[in-house]
Amino acid sequence: MAGENILISKYPEVIRNCVLFDKLPQDSRDLLLSLFHEETWPKNTCIVNHEKFFFHFFLIISGRIKMYQVDSFGEKEITLFILSKNDVFDLFCLLDGNEHLVYYECLDNVKVLAAPMGEVRKWYNQNPAALKNLLSYAGKQLRLLENYVSDITFTDLSTRIIKLLINNVNTTSKDLGKINNLSNKEIAFLVGSTRTVVNRHLQRLKSNGSIRITRNKLEIMDLSKLLQLLETSQQKLI
């Protein structure tokens, strides 16, 4: 099909690196890809209409999207995941066919591939061997969520912030990956706190030379110091 050939040639990295397409026979891969079309979402777009991701399945081509929850009064917010290139959603809707009451917001200008949820589900029913890829991805996300819940419950805020920085830093470029250029407010949503409290902890890290802060941009100045701080905090728990 012409449409699928365009996507394959336009996004070869996606086909090569996305877990959905890993080791699929070419005909099966091409058929799955033919279900998708491109969509572009501007930065700050909020997807609060649950029907959009109940009836559609998305694969991120570029940009970051946060998946978050708010309390019933809309006063507290917590970010569950930051999704980026090659991530997919909504897995819950795909796997169990039920509506998933979470929210999404674009942290950048985002480009996605979108496909009708029913067609994707039908394709998996016809290609059950491909579920291995999907379950591998789902398992990885569940482990991340399990670690997140454990940290929120048992780990002090200072340690959570340090772990967030360490887990996201590129040791070569010192870029902070998925959390690069996020405001203190967004970082607070990731660690289960408030902007004011997070800012206080970041200023301490700045004072000891671990990080540099310029116009809300964080830079890792001394990764070894952060690792030492993390080791010290973990030893206190033993």
Model pLDDT, residue 64: 96
Q: Give the pLDDT mean for 51-71.
A: 88
Query: What is the set of domains in the chain, with CATH numbers?
Result: 2-142 (2.60.120.10), 155-235 (1.10.10.10)
Torsion of CA 149, 89, 119, 6, to 10 degrees: -150
Backbone angles phi, psi at 44, to 5 degrees: 75, 5
What residues does 39 pair with on adjacent strands? 112
Q: Is the peptide bond before 22 cis (omega within 30 degrees of 0)?
A: no
Q: pLDDT averaged over the chain? A: 87
What residues does 82 pair with on adjacent strands? 66
Local confidence band at 44 (pLDDT 50, 70, 90 cut-offs): very high
Instruction: State yes or no: pLDDT of 39 exceeds 50.
Output: yes
All residues at 6 or more sequence positions from 53 whose CB lies less than 8 Å from its CB, including other chains: 47, 89, 90, 93, 100, 104
Task: Calculate the alpha carbon distances from 115 to 9, 25, 54, 87, 171 in Å.
Answer: 18, 20, 11, 14, 36
Q: Model confidence over 18-37: pLDDT tens digits?
A: 888 888 888 888 888 889 99
Model pLDDT, residue 117: 92
Q: Model confidence over 162-178: pLDDT tens digits?
A: 999 999 998 787 789 89
- Best mean pLDDT range from 8-17, 69-78, 105-114: 105-114
What residues does 66 pair with on adjacent strands? 82, 105
Q: What pTM was computed for the model?
A: 0.87
Q: Model confidence over 201-223: pLDDT tens digits?
A: 999 999 999 999 887 688 899 99
* Amino acid, res. 164: L
Range scoring the smallest mean pLDDT among 48-52, 71-75, 100-104, 142-146: 48-52
Model pLDDT, residue 237: 57
Instruction: State yes or no: pLDDT of 17 exceeds 90.
Output: no
Instruction: State yes or no: pLDDT of 194 exceeds 70.
Output: yes
